[in-house]
Structure 1
Amino acid sequence: MVTDNGMTESQFPPRRVAGQGRGWYRGDCHVHSVLSNGGELTPEQLAAGARTAGLDFIATTEHNTADAHGAWGSLVGDDLLVIIGQEATSRTGHWLALGIDPGQVVDWRYGVTDHVIGKHLDRVHEAAGLCVAAHPHAPYPSGVFMYPFEGFDVVEVWNGLWISDEPWQANNEAALAEWGRGLAADIRSGRWRPAMGNSDTHLEGQIGRPHTVVLAEELSTDAVLAGIRAGRSWIAESASVELSLHVSAGEGSADIGGWLDTRGGPARVRVDVRGVLSGTVSFHTDRGTVHRASLPGNGSGVLEWRTSAEESAFVRIEVRHPNGHMAALTNPIILS
């Protein structure tokens, strides 16, 4: 098959990596190459960088073009999934369209006062794609996200496009606070939007810092996007950070993105963190930050805290370095 832009089907990356079953997969869903304005790396360099960074998947998200969709077919191998996407850089905010059709271009020529964002989100959803509000508080013209989150599936609360050599910036702190403040109301309404983190790679050394770790039924576009959409994910600054969050009550239990009926008794929250030297783990609920504990100097520790559905509508975790910069954060486990 030949698409409207002249690319053949064989040039596109496959939607599934064979032989990879259910598990936690690491991926970066905001990546630019030389085929985007501002990108300095070739697709070959990005694929090599993804493997070096310990990633299982990436998304090609060039600015307002599908030109890179056909550049990845020969680069994936049997160990790397490439999700086809785009970054739409509208006048009043940027957003990611992930899992769109090969060759599909999402329009970007509008602003919030045009009241047309809904129809563009619909077209991505019609292609079984995922819509991500990108870097909501980016400190440059058009980067600040002025649209309501309604209609979007996910919020990119951690974007690694560096102002300095540090991928955690004040704009990420603002995005996380905004998402966190609305989480309780969104959960009560039955429609909460998970958080994700991506590098927004333009230059060498950025890919995978940060990235999203997703529980997926297999290493495929559909399964990875389903995991992200459901909030079965957490964000890591690099592959050197490991984390698990588990809540149990009575005979029931739940992991990140799950729901737990706590009528069986008090809920025991258990966090296992590795790779954050002398870090601080904080527990967050609809009441704000409710508990903090320190990790040992070697960066590995198991921490526990108890709560109930009467006290907490959900629980999520943040892990920070001694300087306050983020190392990892999770989506919530919902208690009822």
Structure 2
Amino acid sequence: MPGWFRGDSHVHTGRSEGAELTVEEAVDAARRSGLHFIATTEHNTVDGHTRLDRPRRRADGDPRPGGHHPNRALAGTGSRTGTTDRLEVRRTRRPARGRLDRVRAAGGLCVAAHPHAPYLRGQLGYPFELFDAVEVWNGRWTSSVAWQADNEAALAEWGRGLAAGVAAGRWLPAVGNSDAHLRGQLGSPQTVVLADELTTAAVLAGLRAGRSWIAASRDVELTLTASAGARVAGIGEVLNAEEAVVAASVRGVGSGCVSFHTEQGRIHSATLPPDGAAEVIWHVRASDAGFVRVEIRDGGGVMAAMTNPVQLRSSVG
């Protein structure tokens, strides 16, 4: 059944150097974080993925912990790529394109992970265009830890390429994941994807199409639509109309700020009430904007949620 499913597609277990989570702990943490799926992305091994292939059964026989599927892996490769097959993709000096094509041939999704991380080999040395998606949000949006990724830099780089990508007909979706290594990290942030059903293929198709948004936690809810009369387009979709009404509905970010972004940058904003629930409306012409995306930040300016774009195409002329 179609729906919005929450997941964390960048998770490390004890199979990765520096990680402490057991596979069982990762599954339990996913359930507590309200996730429907996770993906293991071990450091040069697919061993964690094989463990996730074995669903745990509850007393009532349901293999889905808590009624969800956090024990279903979407990936089992290095942190930059994902595939549903047990295909190992290791870092080498060879050009990346051939290795990424191997992942795609296996049905996987190639993600540029933490492109602006401060540690050794943490910064991406390839252009985003080689990939299928960009991990704009890696771990906490900001913190004092030494390994904190520069998510603002990743967002800015992705945003600069979005206008050209939309105009060219191939834009790269943004995703957000925890990159969990330690207990208490998994599920923050999480990507919320619209999929036809809760299967690996359907979730990957939704991520690939950009029908997704990113939340800091399960407590944040967000919808974004553009409409013209009876025609309505959502995140990752296209609205063919010259004049559109863009509506963002938000819950869970008290006294935060909603901002609308186009190829012209931040174009409109509104402050949320203390209870964090509101609908913000903005009117736009397709001749002035090829897309609209939304950011939600808390009162301190820290990202709480962000969307992929809704595309606008003029029906005039």
TM-score > 0.5 by shorter chain: yes
Aligned to 2:157: 178
SS at the partner of 1:312?
Answer: coil
* In structure 1, C-alpha distance between the alignment counterparts of 2:100 and 2:89, rounded to whole Å: 9
SS at the partner of 2:39?
Answer: strand
- Do the aligned partners of residues 97 and 170 (structure 1) sit closer, same or farther apart at CA in structure 2, a change above 3 Å counting? closer
Aligned to 2:60: none
Aligned to 1:245: 224
Letter in 1 for 2:117: A
* In structure 1, C-alpha distance between the alignment counterparts of 2:205 and 2:169, rounded to whole Å: 17
* In structure 2, C-alpha distance between the alignment counterparts of 1:142 and 1:170, rounded to whole Å: 12
**Does the 8 A contact of 1:47 with 1:75 survive in 2?**
no
Shift of 1:83: 2.2
Q: Deviations over 1:191-211 (max 9, x none)?
A: 100000000000111111001
- Do the aligned partners of residues 163 and 195 (structure 1) sit closer, same or farther apart at CA in structure 2, a change above 3 Å counting? closer
- Do the aligned partners of residues 281 and 132 (structure 1) sit closer, same or farther apart at CA in structure 2, a change above 3 Å counting? same
**Does the 8 A contact of 1:62 with 1:85 survive in 2?**
no
Aligned residues: 302
Find out whether 1:199 has 2:178 as its counterpart. yes
Aligned to 2:283: 306
Find out whether 1:133 has 2:116 as its counterpart. no
TM-score by length of 1: 0.86
Aligned to 1:290: 267
**Does the 8 A contact of 2:49 with 2:76 survive in 1?**
no
Letter in 1 for 2:21: L
Aligned to 2:82: 98
- Please, which of 74, 88, 92 is the counterpart of residue 109 of structure 1? 92
Find out whether 1:80 has 2:57 as its counterpart. no
Shift of 1:161: 6.0
- Please, which of 290, 308, 312 is the counterpart of residue 331 of structure 1? 308
Aligned to 1:3: none
Aligned to 1:44: 24
Shift of 1:165: 6.8
Letter in 2 for 1:292: S
Shift of 1:164: 3.5
Aligned to 2:13: 33
Find out whether 1:279 has 2:256 as its counterpart. yes
Shift of 1:68: 1.4
Letter in 2 for 1:240: D
Find out whether 1:56 has 2:51 as its counterpart. no
Ranges in structure 1 where 5+ consecutive residues have no aligned partner: 1-20, 89-94
Shift of 1:71: 1.0
* In structure 1, C-alpha distance between the alignment counterparts of 2:10 and 2:155, rounded to whole Å: 18
Letter in 2 for 1:101: D
* In structure 2, C-alpha distance between the alignment counterparts of 1:163 and 1:320, rounded to whole Å: 12
Shift of 1:67: 1.4
Letter in 1 for 2:85: D
**Does the 8 A contact of 1:161 with 1:201 survive in 2?**
no
Letter in 2 for 1:134: A
TM-score by length of 2: 0.91
- Do the aligned partners of residues 170 and 65 (structure 1) sit closer, same or farther apart at CA in structure 2, a change above 3 Å counting? closer
Shift of 1:170: 6.6
- Do the aligned partners of residues 70 and 87 (structure 1) sit closer, same or farther apart at CA in structure 2, a change above 3 Å counting? closer
- Do the aligned partners of residues 97 and 293 (structure 1) sit closer, same or farther apart at CA in structure 2, a change above 3 Å counting? same
Shift of 1:72: 1.6
Identity rate, percent: 53
Q: Deviations over 1:225-245 (max 9, x none)?
A: 000000000000000000000
* Alpha-carbon RMSD: 1.7
* In structure 2, C-alpha distance between the alignment counterparts of 1:206 and 1:31, rounded to whole Å: 9
**Does the 8 A contact of 1:257 with 1:332 survive in 2?**
yes
SS at the partner of 1:120?
Answer: helix
Aligned to 2:59: none
Segment of structure 1 superposing worse, 198-207 or 65-74? 65-74
Aligned to 1:260: 239
* In structure 2, C-alpha distance between the alignment counterparts of 1:247 and 1:162, rounded to whole Å: 27
SS at the partner of 2:150?
Answer: helix
Aligned to 1:14: none
Ranges in structure 2 where 5+ consecutive residues have no aligned partner: 57-62
**Does the 8 A contact of 2:140 with 2:178 survive in 1?**
yes
